[in-house]
Structure 1
């Protein structure tokens, strides 16, 4: 599967083009299906937030958004 952390990416020549599906979303789906990925989803989400903040871009992961909102209470 080809994914990208926080769904970041896209084509510089196609305005508004998105990147690959967010890695966080795929890991969340696979774990929900009972498939052990060996990936710590919380740490993956933290990495996506760090990268997004560094690049000044909004993360594009539905799973990360939901889980971050849950963390915030």
Structure 2
């Protein structure tokens, strides 16, 4: 799943370890989420969204259009 987490984190000057500590996950987990190798659980995705003050839809893109999702 694509996301903009790395860009938002870099804009704020936050390290992966800073975010990992705030989210109570490992730095490797933050890296895996940022690179799209790992999709976060729903509770973790909500925590990430709160951390950046954004909605889930703003942060994550599963590549599915609204029409496809409705089918």
**TM-score of the pair, normalised by structure 2:** 0.30
| Structure 1 or 2: more helix by fraction | 2
- Structure of higher RCO (CA pairs closer than 8 Å, 6+ residues apart): 2
